[in-house]
Amino acid sequence: MNISIEWLSGLLGFFLTLAIFSYLIGDNPLFRLAIHLFVGASSGYIAALVFRQVWLNQLLLPLLNPQTDTLMRFWLLLSLLLAVLLLAKISPHLNTLGTPSAAILSGIAAAVVIVGALQGTIFPQLTASAAPFSSANTPDLWGQGAIVILGTIGTLAYFHFGADRALRRRGWIRVLGWIGLLFLGLTFGALFATLYSSALTALIERIHALISFILP
């Protein structure tokens, strides 16, 4: 019997999978051993990867490269400074030093997300919601669009937490809220089903790996 790396890795995977499954009988050392191994290996791998691909390839080597122009060197030094200042967030006393770096990151991310949401989600989704009501479409698409609009308005009505009690007690708002609650239930049910589907697929893959290891 040839003992290859694949067989050893398969054997290790087999035992680690059984260790994870042992959580069915409760918390036990095997489960903890597998979790610690996974967390430790992932952390080490990510640290090594980030150091190699970010710190070394994108910062240190270009800085030490004499062919790097001055402007690029300035930007690299500025990036290095901001990164070092961001490390000050570790200390409560030097926390404020890392604020500029965090502000830059948060500001850029917020700007990107907001612009992207407007261009890529809100306007296209509004257009798509109104598209079924085009005169060129058939009545079945009208019905589909009506359901989409009803679900959208009903969901918004359900989350109408106005301070005006008189407005809150109005009948049509309560009806819309009930319809929105129905759509929310269907949505969360579908999400739970897809979540179960993903977990079921992952479990099937693991059982298939175990069987494949036992019966290659």
Partner 1 sequence: MNEILCAQCGQNNPPDAIFCQRCGALLPPQRPATEPLAPTLRPGEEPVKKSTAELEPLLPAWLRETRQGETPPPVEQQPTPAPTPPPDPLAELSSSGPSESEEEIPDWLKELGIVSEKPQAEPQAGPQGIEFQWKEGEEEKSETLLPEGDWLRSLSTISPEASAAGGTQTPPSTIPLSEAPQAPTQPPAPSAGEEAVPDWLKAFAEAPAAAPEVPPAAPSAGEEAVPDWLKAFAEEPKSPVEEEASPAVPPIIGAPIDEEGDLSALLEMEIPEWLSGISPEVPPAETPAEEMPALASAELPAWVQAMRPIEAILTGEGKGATEEAEEEKEGPLAGLRGVLPASPTPLPYTRPRAYSIRLNVSDAQQTHVQLLEQLIADEERPRLRRTPKTHVTSQRALRWLITLLIFISLSVPLFVRSQWTSTPALMPQETWQFIQSVNSLPPSSNLLLVLDYEIATSGEIEALLLPFLEHLNSTNQAQLVVVALNPMDTGMSQRFLEVLHKAHPQMPLPVVLDLGYLPGGVSAIPLFAAHPTFASSEEIRLKWGSPPFEALHTLSDFDGVILVTDNAENARAWIEQTTPWNVDLLVVSAARSAPILLPYFYTGQVKGMIGNLNAAAAYEQSNGLPGLARVYRDAYSAGLWLALILGIVGSVWGMVARRFSSQLREEKA
**Taking CB under 8 A as the rule, which mask of x and - marks residues 74-113 in contact with partner 1?**
-------------------------------x--xx--xx
Smallest gap from Cβ 175 to partner 1, in A, equals 25
The answer to whether 127 contacts partner 1 (rule: CB under 8 A) is yes
Confirm or reject binding of residue 12 to partner 1 (CB under 8 A).
no
**Which of the stretches 7-15, 158-166, 173-181, 199-207 binds partner 1 when contact is defined by CB under 8 A?**
199-207
Question: Residue 130 interacts with partner 1 (CB under 8 A)?
Answer: no
Size of the site for partner 1 (CB under 8 A): 45
- Residue 121 makes contact with partner 1 by CB under 8 A: yes
For partner 1, the closer CB: 54 or 156: 54
Which of residues 42 and 137 has its CB atom nearest to partner 1 in the complex? Answer: 42
Using CB under 8 A, pick the residue from 11, 72, 117, 146 that binds partner 1: 117
Interaction residues for partner 1, span 36-55 (CB under 8 A): 42, 45-46, 49-50, 53-54
Q: Which residues of 27-41 are buried (b: 16+ CB within 10 A; e: fewer)?
A: eeebbeebeeeeeee
Query: How many Å from the N-terminal Cα to the C-terminal Cα in the chain?
Result: 13
Alpha helices in the chain (DSSP H): 5-21, 29-50, 61-64, 70-87, 99-117, 123-130, 139-158, 165-168, 171-214
DSSP for 90-112? GSSTTGGGGHHHHHHHHHHHHHH
Q: Residue length, the chain? A: 216
Tokens found for residue 79: 């990036």
By C-beta, is 28 or 91 nearer to partner 1? 28
Burial grade of 63 (CB within 10 A; 0-12, 13-18, 19 or more): middle
Nearer residue to partner 1 within complex by CB, 118 or 175: 118
What is the Cα–Cα distance from 75 to 73, expressed in whole angstroms?
5
